[in-house]
Amino acid sequence: MSEPQSIVVRAYAKINLALSVAMPEPAERNGGINPFAGYHPLASWMAMIDLHDRIEVTARAEGEPSEYLVGWDPEAPRPTPVDWPIASDLSARAHRALESVVGRALPVKVVVSKRIPVGSGMGGGSSDAAATLRAVRAVHGLGLDDATLRAVARGLGSDVPFFLSARPAAVIEGLGEVVTPVSPVGGHVIAVIPPVGCPTAAVYKAFDRLGATRSEPERERVRALASAGALDPMQLFNDLQAAAIEVEPSLSGVVRALEEATGSRVMMTGSGSAVLVFPGDNPASTMTRIERAKSGGDARLAGCVAMVCRLLGDGEMG
């Protein structure tokens, strides 16, 4: 008897180098019910970094039940309780969505070894979903093209289509469905993971409460930054940072402490809570300053974990 087909893939984290968010879609559009009511149009320059989850998918025989396991890798920088129903994990949802598309069961065992912190705004769940879609297609030999996978991805979350891209950097527009690859800029960032997470839905609700007035995202601004060919930290921005701090006020202190300790540009990624420090050509010395501030007793950084992350280049996503 042949061994079951199995594949291991990496699900990389992302950072938002620029993020513009508009007011939510209205309840009605063009005289009818708007199926996207409440969703926020956005424009974002996203890039993958070398921090990643590990997804192992093994095909099972016809008639066998599927199984999903989610746990933390021993090297995870910020493990937290897996306190959500495994069946609702985005990797499990991605598998079931693919079954719906092909109209039959695709029995698998999916093992997710997480390293990307939950609630950090680094896209861990979305990346897991995209990796699961690719892996299930492979182990079951499905003749589905990439366009079909992208259609499935759109129903799973606004970040999932980006993670199906064959390139590690892109401009994302619409509700996440428009993905335009751009040249990666390379270099390093320092990701600081606070001891709190930010639920995405809560951050968007706070964004609305704070009185967003932009009817359309700043697409041209984001495109210009992404096409500049270099990373200028002082030009980067995140429209959700104030909302994330509204949800978790302690994040304001983390940002200020890192600015004071490093003298570098500091910005949250996505809906938070991860805070990015842009160290230029000196990631090691910047890390030393952060660790010195922590060991010196700066209470604002208590419980924070810092790590140097590399922005991926083309051809590094295997």
Active site amino acids: 14, 159
Closest alpha carbon to 277 in 250, 244, 309, 229: 309
Closest alpha carbon to 300 in 263, 252, 266, 262: 252
How many other C-beta atoms can be found within 10 angstroms of the C-beta atom of residue 27? 9
The 3-class SS string of the chain reads CCCCCEEEEEEEEEEEEEEEECCCCCCEECCEECCCCCCCCEEEEEEEEEEEEEEEEEECCCCCCCEEEEEECCCCCCCCCCCCCHHHCHHHHHHHHHHHHHCCCCCEEEEEEECCCCCCCCCHHHHHHHHHHHHHHHHCCCCCCHHHHHHHHHCCCCCHHHHCCCCCEEEEEECCCEEEECCCCCCEEEEEECCCCCCHHHHHHHHHHCCCCCCCCCHHHHHHHHCCCCCCHHHCEECCHHHHHHHCCHHHHHHHHHHHHHCCEEEECCCCCCEEEECCCCHHHHHHHHHHHHHCCCHHHCCCEEEEEEECCCCCCC
- In what order do the strands lie in the sheet containing 265-268? 265-268, 275-278, 188-193, 305-310
